[in-house]
């Protein structure tokens, strides 16, 4: 058997440490090393077990005295070593340090309804204009029959005899820790403080039922992929009159066939042929508000972009609109027939002085190699 470490050393306190100091030291170790907080950490589990055993002995004045006089052997004779490594973290704190850490938090959490997520797909255009949508949300809703109380109408509730209405019970117990006051959720009423004389026949006392509810969601202009809209109190109903959770509507924006969004800006990729790029052209392009004719200047290069100010997406918080960028892609024709090739060779010979070429010639060329 391995040699046991000194209990004071385990807790990191002096031999004359006060009960308060012992408690603080153990609390700190428990915070750091409890298995609930360190799953899969075997070393932490050992540390926690060792510290809880040390604290169990030293916090009991009689056992501490024996330990001080005779060491581990004396304590071992007094009963088996304490093992509460299976005890959940919150219960440890309820038990050893009084309520407040676990029981109360658990009670509030268990009564409040869960938050819900609803994924909603809208079109690119709708993300631009904003839209109001009807959605059907399946969720736990307050039971109409009992108005959420869980009691059959007319039957009422009575104060829980187990806890006197507080929902918690305090027990003073003699243990290896000496006098320990524990606070726990009342088992009679499950923490509600009231018990039902006659549970509701529809919801069986839960105060809520599964129901689909139609909600209207206002989606502001400018929302983007992944934007969330929180609708307070439209999540799951609380248990027996507890507060409802929230509903999070998470938006998915369908991609547009031609326009792409980049933050507040919209990007349109404009494919032109080499003649259009060389000579310039007036071209109708799509914008989020419909087609607009733009002029691309002569000598436009592949990859060049033009900014259309204020043609982008609105700011969701009501700021100014982004811009639209027209990014030019010059498409070079492939698979030319011999006649087209001959024409291009002529154009090649004229490069550098396009102004001397008649418009008619280029119109013909455009037709010859047009991509449309
Ligand atoms: Zn009770
Ligand atoms: Zn009901």
Using alpha carbons, select from 68, 67, 86, 85 the residue that is nearest to residue 77.
Answer: 67
Kindly indicate the confidence band of residue 360, based on its pLDDT and cuts at 50, 70 and 90.
Answer: low
- Distance (Å) from CA 90 to ligand 1 centroid: 20
Please give the pLDDT value at position 71: 80
Ligand (nearest to CA of 160): 1
Amino acid 237: pLDDT:
85
Q: What mean pLDDT is predicted for residues 173-194?
A: 76
pLDDT, tens digit, for every residue of 10-59? 999 998 999 889 888 988 888 888 777 777 778 887 888 888 888 888 88
Strands (E), the chain: 116-122, 131-142, 157-159, 168-175, 178-185, 194-196, 208-219, 228-231, 247-253, 259-262, 265-273, 281-285, 292-296, 305-308, 324-331
Ligand 1 center–CA 256 separation, angstroms: 58
Residue 256 CA to ligand 2 centre (angstroms)? 47
82 or 322, greater pLDDT: 322
One CATH from 3.10.110.10, 1.10.10.10, 1.20.120.1200, 2.10.230.10 for 116-253: 2.10.230.10
Domain regions of the chain by residue span: 7-82, 116-253, 259-369
What pLDDT is recorded for position 100?
Answer: 38
Nearest listed ligand to the Cα of residue 164: 1
pLDDT in tens, 200-236: 889 888 888 888 889 999 999 999 999 999 999 899 8
Which ligand is nearest to the Cα of residue 193, counting in written order?
1
Rounded to two decimals, the pTM is 0.52
CA of 33 to the centre of ligand 1 (A): 33
What integer pLDDT is reported at residue 101 of this predicted model?
Answer: 39
Asked if 99 and 168 touch (Cβ cutoff 8 Å), the reply is yes
Average pLDDT over residues 147-174: 82
* pLDDT at 186 exceeding the cut of 90: no
Tell whether the model's pLDDT for residue 88 goes beyond 50: yes
Centre of ligand 2 to C-alpha 278, Å, is 76
Instruction: Tell me how far the alpha carbon of residue 217 lies from the centroid of ligand 2, in angstroms.
Output: 28
Instruction: State the architecture of 259-369 in CATH terms.
Output: Sandwich (2.60)
Indicate the CATH number of 7-82 among 3.30.420.40, 3.40.190.290, 1.10.287.110, 3.20.80.10: 1.10.287.110
Q: Which residues have C-beta under 5 Å from ligand 2, the single-atom ion?
A: 143, 145-146, 200, 202-203
pLDDT at position 104 is 38
Band the pLDDT of 250: cuts 50, 70, 90: very high
Spacing, Cα 143 to ligand 2 middle (Å): 5
């Amino acid at each position: 058997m391995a040699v046991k470490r000194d209990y004071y050393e385990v807790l990191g306190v002096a031999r004359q440490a006060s009960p308060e100091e012992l408690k603080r030291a153990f609390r700190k170790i428990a915070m750091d090393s409890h298995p609930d907080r360190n799953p899969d950490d075997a070393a932490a589990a050992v540390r926690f077990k060792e510290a809880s055993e040390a604290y169990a002995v030293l916090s009991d004045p009689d056992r501490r005295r024996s330990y001080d006089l005779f060491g581990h052997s004396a304590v071992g004779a007094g009963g088996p070593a304490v093992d509460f490594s299976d005890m959940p973290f919150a219960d440890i704190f309820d038990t050893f340090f009084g309520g407040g850490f676990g029981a109360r938090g658990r009670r509030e959490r268990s009564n409040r309804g869960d938050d819900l997520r609803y994924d909603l797909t809208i079109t690119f255009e709708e993300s631009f204009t904003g839209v109001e949508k009807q959605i059907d949300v399946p969720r736990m809703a307050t039971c109409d029959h009992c108005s959420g109380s869980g009691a059959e109408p007319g039957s009422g509730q009575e104060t829980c005899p187990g806890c006197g209405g507080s929902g918690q019970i305090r027990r003073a117990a003699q243990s290896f820790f000496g006098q320990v006051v524990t606070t726990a959720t009342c088992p009679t009423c499950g923490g509600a403080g009231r018990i039902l004389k006659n549970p509701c026949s529809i919801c069986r006392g839960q105060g809520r039922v599964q129901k689909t509810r139609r909600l209207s969601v206002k989606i502001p202009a400018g929302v983007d992929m992944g934007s969330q809209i929180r609708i307070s109190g439209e999540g799951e109903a609380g248990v027996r009159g507890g507060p409802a959770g929230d509903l999070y509507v998470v938006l998915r924006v369908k991609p547009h066939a031609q326009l792409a969004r980049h933050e507040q800006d919209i990007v349109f990729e404009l494919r032109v042929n080499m003649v259009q790029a060389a000579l310039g052209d007036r071209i109708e392009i799509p914008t989020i508000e419909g087609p607009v004719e733009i002029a691309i200047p002569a000598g436009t290069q592949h990859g060049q972009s033009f900014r259309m100010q204020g043609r982008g997406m609105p700011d969701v918080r009501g700021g100014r609109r982004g811009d639209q960028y027209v990014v030019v892609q010059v498409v070079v024709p492939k698979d030319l027939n011999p006649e087209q090739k001959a024409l291009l060779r002529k154009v090649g010979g004229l490069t550098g002085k396009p102004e001397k070429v008649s418009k008619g010639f280029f119109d013909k060329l455009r037709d010859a190699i047009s991509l449309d």
